[in-house]
Amino acid sequence: MKRILTILLSFIIIFSFVSNSFAAEKHSMHFFDTFDTIITIIGYSDSKEIFDTETQKAQDMFRMYHKYFDIYNEYEGVVNMCTLNKTAKDGPVKVDKELFDFLVYGKKLQLELPTGVNMAMGSVLKEWHDYRTAGINNPAEAKLPSMDSLIELNNYTDINNLELDEEAQTVYYKDPNMLLDTSAVSKGYATEMVADYLAGSSMPSFVISAGGNVKAGISPLDGREFWSIGIQDPKTAQSESNKMLNVVGIKEMAVVTSGDYQRYYIVDGKKYHHIIDSVSLMPADHVKAVTILTENSAMADYLSTALFIMPYEEGFEFVKGLDGVDALWVLLDDTVKMTEGFEKVVID
Strand pairing partners for 345?
none
Residue 311 pLDDT: 95
**H or E segment and range at residue 245:** strand 244-250
* Side chain identity, residue 66: H
Global pTM exceeds 0.85: yes
- 3-class secondary-structure state, position 295: coil
The Cβ-side half-sphere exposure at 39, using a 13 Å CA radius, reads 24
What value does the CA radius of gyration of the chain take, rounded to a whole number of Å? 20
Q: Is the pLDDT of residue 4 over 60?
A: no
DSSP E strands, 16-103: 25-34, 37-45, 93-94
Contacts of 211 (CB under 8 A, 6+ apart): 7, 10, 11, 35, 36, 37, 38, 39, 187
Residue 21 pLDDT: 45
**97-112 vs 297-309: helix crossing angle, rounded to 10:** 40
Residue 221 pLDDT: 96
Residue 42 pLDDT: 98
Domains and CATH numbers, the chain: 81-173 (1.10.3980.10)
Contacts of 290 (CB under 8 A, 6+ apart): 257, 258, 259, 304, 307, 308, 315, 327, 328, 329, 330
Q: Is the pLDDT of residue 34 over 80?
A: yes
Question: 76-85, 190-199, 213-222, 225-234: which range is least confident on average?
Answer: 225-234
- 3-class secondary-structure state, position 109: helix
Q: Is the pLDDT of residue 278 over 70?
A: yes
Q: Is the pLDDT of residue 335 over 80?
A: yes
Mean pLDDT (whole number) for 215-238 = 90
